[in-house]
A and B are shown apart, each in its own frame.
Chain A
Amino acid sequence: MLKIIDLHARVEGEKEVILKGINLEINKGEVHAIMGPNGSGKSTLAKVIAGHPAYEVISGQVLFEGEDILEMDPDERARLGLFLAFQYPVEVPGVSNAMLIREAVNAVRKERGQDEFDPLEFEDFIVDKLKLVEMDEKFLDRSVNAGFSGGEKKRNEILQLAAMEPRLSLLDETDSGLDIDALRIVSEGINSLRTSENSFMLVTHYQRILNYIKPDKVHVLIDGRIAKSGGSELALELEDQGYDWLIKDAHVNGEA
């Protein structure tokens, strides 16, 4: 599904390199968690994969279904089946949620050679997805994320994910700022969308969400590199011991 080879990246126009050689492979049907302390580059990794224009890829490859996507615009990547759920979903005043999601779904459907939905067909389609994230229909008529609470914004991201039916979903700290109810709704939504055909990459600072969504693999990012990979038990270890022991190891390795 996704193969990242020796990826180096930085903020466009700046010297400091943030991603310093990432290697990662996510297979079809797998859920991978990317953990790490603040500033380790985990959000940057998600944004670079999605094609954020503020970042410059210095070297390396990102292959999605075998195809190098680094030259593609973010919308092309999205239409191929790559989805990014934002850590801070953007407010778009004046544009209704229904308008955005319908256009998004139709963009994907067109790419797949399916007929586009007219507004009525779209309403039928979206009703089930709303139930999944326990959102009221009135959210469709409101401006995208404008005046939404933190939890509502995150649920709205999962609603869009559900509607666009991506093959690979990058969830950038979707758990941060959620209360327990919202976390449960979001997690259950994601779990019910898991199939043997799609994959997820969860970027998270805390182990908490992994109590709800069991990852196949956990990777710890320290200073722009994957310092350690393991099974879901690694997340529990981090919960107990924090990141310090890995940071020390990384420095020792770096100096050696």
Chain B
Amino acid sequence: MEQAVQFKQSTYLKDLHENVVKTETGVDAVEQARAAAVLNVDAWSFPTPRTEDWRQTSLKPLYQQDFAQAAIDSEILASDLEHIRLEEASEATIVMVNGKFHAGLSTIRSLPDGCYAGSAIGAPASVQTALGKQFSKVARYDKDAFTAFNTAILSDVAVVYVAKEVKVENPIHIINITDARTENVYSTARVFIYGERHSDATIVEDFIGLGDNSYFNTAVSETVLEDEAHITHVKVQRETRKAIHISRVASLLGRGSNYNSYTVSIGAQLFRNEPLSLVDAENAHATLDGLVLVDGNQISDTHSSLDHMKPNCTSHQLHKVIANGSGHSVFNGKIFVRKDSQLIDAFQENRNLLLSENANVFTKPQLEIFADDVKCSHGATIGQLSEDELFYLQTRGISRGDALQMLTYGYALEVIENIPVPSLRKQLSFAVAEFTGAKIEAQDIV
């Protein structure tokens, strides 16, 4: 019996893959990547509980369920998305339904010359060239069956392309929506972001679902920053509580570039996120901040890798977790400093706030430093709120219960307040307030 389960588990993606009806994109770079990935899905095995990086997180919720391929022509109404629309992005919102670009729901107007936001299918030549150079080459996840699965079955790619020396003032919003209203489904979300030299843009990648059925979403995004490019990349995971979201967020940094990423994990039954930043040029900076909220029996697992491949770079990683109920959070933050990568300044901190006896968190900072002249600080704390802060609020007449809620809210806000999109900050602040029970008014958004 044990063996049967083990067997089923190890071929899970392979079996799923066999029954996929594929929709080719007609984009050369994508199809070439697919051809290689198809072989890899079959060759690369599904992680078992013995796989080192999967020891704290069980994939049972995934392989013990059946999922059907999500339909490409799912009917989604504008009203289904209303609550997450960002007013700043009213002129550049890409909507992907079950992994496929939806022209009717997307609004793409008035981007600066040479910039592009939309599907890879039918994208201009400059975008095709960029795809040819880097598509599927940034997501360097070693023998990762999920990445291969995504590449093998994807039906479309959401692309943001920012031309040389252009600053796109307003954020670009990519909404990935999975329709699980009629049955358990799986789908793939794929994003490709490319910033040319000296470009500057903010991209919000958003994930929601519809319906009460379970769904399995593999999401892969790749961000390329040419020299001196500035990209802010926000990932908001607000899937339904029935979602299994396996995510890879890869970035490749050019000389003097600045990659600021913020990941906010609110939804899903099981969320596994693997940010991978390849800092492969000098004077670059990467931020990989995260906020995780888990309660009920939610599982949120972040395994990040920040690879300092060249000298004179900086990085910042603040990963904050609030765990309530029987919520389960895992953080494994790898920072590599290669042998010749001198003068690296890397900051990493993981702070965990436990609000209930049954919540649990695992944290593992993992620094592998081979250069000798570097400054790397790391810390991990697991705890409750500070008594000094509680006393301060109580002397203001606020009951201990209300003070706890207010401080928990404030604790979460430290990550959110850096997101440079006010309407998103507002949505997320209200989501945090709902999670913590804190009473806030629109005027309170910091």
Contacts and interface: CB of A to CB of B under 8 A. Distances in A.
Given A53-B387, A90-B392, A95 B398 contact: no
7 contacts: A51-B395, A93-B411, A93-B414, A94-B416, A95-B444, A96-B443, A123-B443
Interface in B389-408: 389, 391-400, 402-403, 406-407
Interface residues of B, number: 33
Contacts of B399: 73, 75, 107
Contact of A93 (B397, B413, B439, B443): B413
B383 to A, nearest CB: 16
A119 B442 CA distance: 9
B434 to A, nearest CB: 15
Contact of A78 (B394, B407, B413, B443): B394
A89 B412 CA distance: 21
A64 B230 CA distance: 59
A141 B445 CA distance: 8
Q: Which of A78, A95, A160 has the most CB of B within 10 A?
A: A95
Contacts of B443: 96, 98-99, 119, 123, 141
Most buried by A among B396, B410, B413: B396
A74 interface: yes
A111 interface: yes
Contact of B441 (A100, A119, A142): A119
B413 A75 contact: no
A94 B394 contact: no
* Range of interface residues on A (Cβ < 8 Å): 35 or more
Contacts of B387: 53-54
Interface of A: 50-54, 73-75, 77-79, 83-84, 86, 89-90, 92-96, 98-104, 107-108, 111, 119, 123, 141-143, 160, 164
A124 B393 CA distance: 23
B433 to A, nearest CB: 10
Interface of B: 387-389, 391-400, 402-403, 406-407, 409-414, 416-417, 439-446
A83 B395 contact: yes
A4 to B, nearest CB: 18
Contacts of A78: 394-397
B31 to A, nearest CB: 47
Contacts of B413: 93-95, 143
Contacts of B444: 95-96, 98-99
Contacts of A51: 394-395
A84 B410 contact: no
A136 B250 CA distance: 43
Nearest to A166: B397
Given A90-B388, A98-B444, A143-B446, A103 B410 contact: no
A104 B446 contact: no
A84 B411 CA distance: 24
Nearest to A95: B410
A92 B392 contact: yes
B89 to A, nearest CB: 23
Q: Which 9 A-B pairs have the closest CB atoms?
A: A94-B413, A94-B410, A107-B397, A104-B396, A74-B394, A90-B392, A78-B397, A95-B410, A99-B444
B438 to A, nearest CB: 8
A65 B340 CA distance: 71
Contacts of B409: 94-95
Contact of B400 (A54, A75, A86, A143): A75
B212 to A, nearest CB: 33
A102 to B, nearest CB: 8
B407 A95 contact: yes
A94 B398 contact: no
Contacts of A84: 395
A107 B440 contact: no
B397 A95 contact: no
